[in-house]
Amino acid sequence: MNGRKIEFADGFSHLVLPNGWGKSTLCAFLRVMLYGLNTARRDTQQALSDKTRYVPQDGHAMSGRLEIEWNGRAVTIVRQTGKGGPMQDFDAFYTDTGEKCRLLTAKNCGQVLLGMGEDAFLSSMMVDGEDMNRPSEELQELLSSMAQTGDATGSAAKALARLDRWRLDIRSGRGHGELPEAQSEQTKLEEQLEQLESLSHDIAKQKEKCRSLEREAQKAQDAYERSYQAFTEQQADEESRRRVLREEREQRIREIKNRVPDEDLVREAAEVLYGYEGAVRLEREKRENMPAVETRRREAIERMEKAQHDREIEVDRTTRPKIRWVAGVFAFIFGVLAAATGIMQVEWFPEMENVAGMLNTSALPMVLSALAIVCLLLTFLGSVQKPPAPLPDMDEEKKQLEIEYQRILDEQRMAASVLLEERDRVIEAGKKLSSRVTNVEEAAEVIRSAMADLQLIRREQSALGDVILEIQRGPEDDEEADAVRQQLDALGARQSEARRVLDAAREQLSRLQGQADMIGTMEEIRAKLSACKERIVQLQKQYQAVEHARQIVSSENAALQARVSPQITSLAQSYLAYLTADNYQEIRLDDQFRARTAGADGQLLNERQLSSGARDQLYLALRLAVCETLAGAKEAPLILDDPFLTSDDARTERGIALLKELGRKRQVILLSCRKSA
């Protein structure tokens, strides 16, 4: 189409163009010349399609020229491709004078000339025959939308569907959506907060109870100790005192033995612990020595590199050629004199010719040449110095240094590996002594405690041996005071019971604190609850906004339908009756889009029951009615691209006749691939 000139007459213009000529491209050209090619909206399929689909085949940039008649004057519009993008350079001027038309710009050209935006122009003033090939359900929705509001894009229905989807995403009718989830989260957090407050109250009460039990246990222990002290003081007889001491030692030994594991296991664990402590000391020593080793290695490498660098400088200095420039100058002078004497026969010493036979003019060139040769030899004699002794092999020294460094690293790794093995052994030995052991610190503590108990047994056994020896050396045993013993036993039992109750209270306090730790801190729960409440408020506002927008769209669509639908339906009925030769005389809009036949029964047929040709006529009648209703008296041309693709000759004739009738009021441009009969 490059360089082609296409003219449209006033009123009705019918261009018959073959398939593949570019009728759709021509329609797109008219739209772009009026409204421009929007390349900024990268997310729209239309802009992307125009940029790729209508690229010129000759490789040149997009450009176009459109001449129009506006307000009684001819105006030329030119769009070209520039730095802003395809068809972004705009120019409008009056054709007769060349004066710029300042009322028209690249953005408002179509709006000013036609009185409508691009979307309204596409939906009302451009009829594409390809729309008739839509699926039945989609075409039925399109017909209903056009008959109700004149909207060929179904924007109101799409907007309502999107708002409904947003509303369901926020809150659906079955308890799903973001808002119910947030409310459920709020309820859960409030329950956790209430539970945490209850636990905090219980923990405070339990702590107070533990403090009270501690005081009672301390009182029982003090009473026991005072009674025991009084008991021992009341034992006037030395033998009775020794017997008491023996019983106490034996009792303590039994108690210690009851809580101490097998002695062999304790000894084995003690040996493992000693090994682990030695491994810890060894690993710490190796690890602490590593920085010094690294420093020594780095200093040695720097020292070797510096020595090698200094040696290279010395070699370069001693091996540099030494030329005696003074001797060279004399050699040059003697050579020049010899050449001048031999070639030009210059007499340098005429007054001393043949003096004493020592100087002969003919032998002077040879003498000067000999002197030049001697000076030349002196110039370069000794210029190449003997290279110094080679530098010791630094690579071997570095290799030995790396080997030593690697050996130290291997020792450090070996110490760390041994430490890990000893740690595992300590943990295993600790688990044999106590099932509660989980780490090496607990295992070491258990082993040390067991060792201390063994040592305590040894001391108690030694003390018991001393008591037995004293008893054996002393007099016969005296009877103890039963009353005093019973009182002491009762105090001991009371002390044990107080300690047991205190331990149980502490265990209960630990359980309560563990439950509170599992829930979290009060500040965290309150912060989450506050954030959840704010999110609920935002979701409620969003839901109200969506609901309000839905009501506005519904009410505005209903108002537009009440205002526009009767006019569109009335015009469409008259156009359909004309197109079908009064075979269909009524269009009814209900749950299904239907048309009444002109037969005796006057049967109502829905869109699916109509023939293909009748359905195309119905679509064309609605599009023409939309054009007349929405455009009204505006000077907007009606452009039709092959609207009779599926029509026979008779339907095509009646359609063209109707378009000619419309061409009396506005410009109508029909592009088709066949002529009318």
Structural domain spans, the chain: 283-418
Specify the amino acid at residue 378: L
pLDDT, average across residues 251-258: 67
pLDDT(475) > 50: no
Measure the CA–CA gap between 665 and 654, rounded to whole angstroms.
18
pLDDT at position 607 = 56
What dihedral angle (degrees, nearest 10) is formed by the CA atoms of 238, 241, 243, 245? -130
Q: What is the structure's pLDDT at 586? A: 72
Q: What is the pLDDT of residues 592-627, one digit of tens each?
A: 555 454 443 455 565 566 777 777 777 788 778 877
User: Position 547: which residue type?
Assistant: E
- pLDDT of res. 144: 64
> How would you class 83 by CB atoms within 10 Å of its CB: exposed for 0-12, middle for 13-18, buried for 19 or more?
exposed
Strand order of the β-sheet with 12-16 is 12-16, 668-672, 638-641, 126-128
Considering only CA atoms, which of 535, 469, 466 is closest in space to residue 183? Answer: 535
CA dist 375 to 131, 370, 382, 627, Å? 109, 9, 13, 115
SS3 of 381-445: CCCCCCCCCCCCCHHHHHHHHHHHHHHHHHHHHHHHHHHHHHHHHHHHHHHHHCCCCCCHHHHHH
Side chain identity, residue 531:
A
The b-or-e profile of 611-642 (16+ CB within 10 A means b, else e) is: eebbbbbbbbbbbbbbbbbbbeeeebbbbbbb
Q: Is the pLDDT of residue 479 over 60?
A: no
pLDDT higher than 70, residue 464: no
Residue 16 backbone dihedrals phi, psi, to 5 degrees: -95, 115
- Choose among 634, 629, 633, 632: nearest CA to 569: 629
Q: Residue 604: its pLDDT value, please?
A: 59
Per-residue pLDDT band at 357 (split at 50, 70, 90): very low
pLDDT digits (tens, 9 = 90+) for 136-185: 555 556 666 666 655 655 667 777 778 778 877 777 656 677 878 888 88
pLDDT at 25 exceeding the cut of 80: yes
Mean pLDDT of 292-312: 80
Q: Closest Cα partner for 109 from 81, 87, 84?
A: 87
What's the pTM?
A: 0.44
- Lowest-confidence range among 237-241, 521-525, 534-538? 237-241
Examine the pLDDT at 471 and tell me if it is beyond 90. Answer: no
Mean pLDDT confidence for 582-586: 74
Worst-scoring range by mean pLDDT, 249-253, 275-279, 405-409? Answer: 249-253
Res. 502: pLDDT tops 70 = yes
| Bridge partners (DSSP) listed for residue 391 | none
pLDDT category of residue 652 using cuts at 50, 70 and 90: confident
Q: What is the mean pLDDT of residues 63-86?
A: 89
Which strand (E) or helix (H) includes residue 70?
strand 63-70
Residue matched to tokens 């533990």: 210
Q: How far apart are CA 400 and CA 402, in angstroms?
A: 5
How far is CA 382 from each of CA 316, 327, 328, 387, 597, rounded to the nearest angstrom?
16, 13, 14, 13, 127
The residue behind tokens 């369901």 is 168
Q: Could you tell me the end-to-end alpha-carbon distance of the chain, in angstroms, rounded to an integer?
A: 28
